[in-house]
Amino acid sequence: MLKLSAYLLLALSLLVMSCKEIKKLLTFEIDNSQTITLDTGLPLNSSVVSLPMDVTTNSEDEFKSNNTRAEFVKDVNLKTFNLTIINPPTQDFSFLKDAYVYISLPDNTNEVLLAYRENIPDDIGNTMELYSTNEKLDKYVKAPSFKVRTKTTFDKSITSEITLRADMKFNVTADPL
């Protein structure tokens, strides 16, 4: 009886490990980068400075290269969202108090909060990670494009134009073809 229990435990362990390995094989990442320009003269302490961006996805190509198609994608979430100041090189994010990033479909429907950062410290530097809301993002990443809108509150005035790069990384889990 003890041998049978040991074999059953071993078989169950192998099954659980193989399921995790299969899920790992069916999970991949999609990267997307966008450039944003902030002009001088944006209102100080405005909670409605909104910067919309149209983002074209290369999802179909990514799905194909990972041996799947959009209809087999079953789970997409945001892994990371980083902002980096490209120009001027000496600028940092101390001018921001809060930053919220929303995602919507191309027709501006189904908008949800994608990522955020509140109470941004003055010593943040020129790269900032935003926190994911862990929303389910299947319909946005499967679409040929989506819209991203930022809503920010400024701590300080901007005296020169600032160019930012937004780097988004999505985790995708799909069934194989």
- The 10 Å Cβ neighbour count of residue 150 is 22
Q: How far apart are the first and last CA of the chain?
A: 42
Low-confidence ranges of the chain (pLDDT < 50): 14-25, 47-48
Confidence at residue 30, expressed as pLDDT on a 0 to 100 scale? 86
Q: How far apart are CA 53 and CA 149, in angstroms?
A: 6
pLDDT digits (tens, 9 = 90+) for 62-76: 888 888 888 888 889
Partners of 34 in the β-ladder:
166
Asked if residue 14 is part of any domain, the answer here is no
The one-letter amino acid at 111 = E
CB within 8 Å of 20: residues ≥ 6 apart: none
40: CATH: 2.60.120
- Count: domains in the chain: 1
State residue 141's pLDDT score: 87
156 domain-assigned: yes
Is residue 141 a part of any domain in this protein?
yes
